[in-house]
Amino acid sequence: MLHRFRSLNTTWLSLLLITLLLNVPFLSPRLVFLHDTLSSFAFFQFAYSDLFLHDEFPKWIPLMGYGIPFDFNLFSTLLPTDYVMMAVGWLLGVHDAPLLFKLSLLLSQGIFVLGLDLLTGRLFASRLAVWMVCLGALLTNSCSSTPPGTSRQST
């Protein structure tokens, strides 16, 4: 069991390092979101600004959808990693919502790689096969191969 944990650490840490390296260009404050990512970011920004300024999630959307309640959008557009990063930002007093959103995307990819590593570790005996499958999935699901956020709705 300890050997399996040690091999998970080396495989997952190397894949996590590759994930970080792939996403470094996208952590730039000059990055402008487009299309699906912009839509996801708009909901993240709206929810986080209300949480940050009023210490609660928004209850309704006054400027979109004719003031409909925000409950459904809060759960349908935000990922669990968004909530984690919102909580971290709120506790630390971070004003930079775009940075928190980008870190949320990075955290989502890290969890994706961890889960895939655990799954493929059960399917393949060879650690090289596990590493190659995880690397292939990471390279096809990263921001370098798809615009940020277009695959985030399904992962």
pLDDT tens, residue by residue, 94-142: 999 999 999 998 999 889 888 888 898 899 888 888 888 888 888 886 5
pLDDT in tens, 7-48: 556 777 888 888 888 888 888 888 777 777 788 888 898 899
Burial (CB count within 10 angstroms: exposed 0-12, middle 13-18, buried 19+), residue 88: middle
3-state secondary structure of 23: helix
Residues whose CB falls within 8 Å of the CB of residue 31, separated by 6 or more in sequence, listed in order: 25, 98, 102, 148
Mean pLDDT value of segment 135-150 = 63
Residues whose CB falls within 8 Å of the CB of residue 143, separated by 6 or more in sequence, listed in order: 22, 23, 26, 105
Burial (CB count within 10 angstroms: exposed 0-12, middle 13-18, buried 19+), residue 147: middle
CB-CB contact of 15 with 109 (8 Å) = no
CB-CB contact of 35 with 144 (8 Å) = no
Instruction: Quote the CA–CA distance of 97 and 47 in Å, as a whole number.
Output: 10
